[in-house]
Structures are given as C-alpha cells and as structure tokens.
Amino acid sequence: MERWAEALERLGQDEAADAVRRRPAPVPLLPTKIRFGDALDLVGLDLPGEVRAGETATVRFHWRLVQPLRQDYWAFLHVRGPKKALGLNQDRPIGGRSFGTSLWPSGEELRQSVTVRVPAATPPGRYPLRTGVWLPWTGKQLRATTELPIVRRAVVIGYLTVTR
C-alpha cells in the first residue's frame, strides 16, 4: 500500500495517496500459517464458497515477505477432481510481472487474486484447491511448512464446491 501511495504522489495525486494510506489493511477471511522456503509466508486466503459449473471462482492470496528474495517466484493454484473430472491450473508470478518478489522489502504484504473458470461440464462435487511456490525456469519448488495437508509437494488450502 505504501508503494502505491508513493507512486500516486509521484504522479501529483496527493489526495489519492492519502486515501490509500488511510485504508485499513485487508484482512483475510481465512488466516493461514504457511511458510514457503525461509522467506515467504501465505498468511491468509479468501476462498470461494460454492460455484456453479460454467462460472468463475476467485481465490485471493495474502502474502508476506519475511526476508528478501533474489528471484521472482510464482505461485500455482491447481484444482483437481477424481478421474480428471476437473483439472484447472493457474500459474502466476507473485506480485505480477512488474512487482515480483525480488523487489519486495522485508515485511512487504501483498494481496493477489487468481480467477479460474469452471468448465460447464464439471460434475457437482467438492474439489481440492492446492498451491505451491516455484521458479518456472528451473522447476525448483519451495518447500512448504504448515499443519495443512501436503499432497505431491502442494498444500491443500481448501475445497471448491461445484454445483449445477
């Protein structure tokens, strides 16, 4: 938020910068304690409740950097179903391409939304949401430390319920 306010000030929009600074910090609906590697925490999530087949669902990640990173890491969101009933993959740079994790100072917090379209033919059911952090150009994945279940090096962060 502070960087956003500073950018607005550089554009001569002091009132808008002040408004950004007065905003309360976003509070995740579901606080989490997931550490990726030694430096990046997933401190919370906003998960969709139910979604109808053919519609979109949004997952919001609340990230916090513990210590500086040299690389721009990506997060994946995988939604899997039995017998390949649903297989959605979203891989995105954390912070986007213009504010990757290598640019964050220690303590930086960022919210990031990922939206997936559930195919219309998806059968109703409860599908696990899995996430992890990695470098796509090397394939190196950061180890997750959490009390949540880990399946194939991905943290199960919740479930997506698909209805008709």
The owner of tokens 């210590």 is 67
What is the per-residue pLDDT across 78-120, written as a single tens digit (0 to 9) for each?
998 877 667 889 999 999 988 899 999 999 999 999 999 999 9
Which domains does the chain possess? 28-163 (2.70.50.60)
Q: Count CB atoms within 10 A of the CB of residue 134.
A: 18
What is the per-residue pLDDT across 3-60, written as a single tens digit (0 to 9) for each?
778 888 989 999 988 988 888 778 899 999 999 999 999 999 999 989 999 999 999 9
The owner of tokens 């304690």 is 33
Task: Kindly list the distances between the CA atom of residue 91 and the CA atoms of 1, 11, 23, 140, in Å, as whole numbers in the listed order.
Answer: 24, 32, 29, 14
Main-chain dihedrals φ then ψ at residue 71, nearest 5 degrees: -115, 160
The set of residues, in sequence order, having a beta carbon less than 8 Å from that of 106 and lying 6+ positions away, is 65, 66, 67, 68
Q: Which residue has the higher pLDDT, 140 or 152?
A: 140
d(CA 62, CA 31): 9
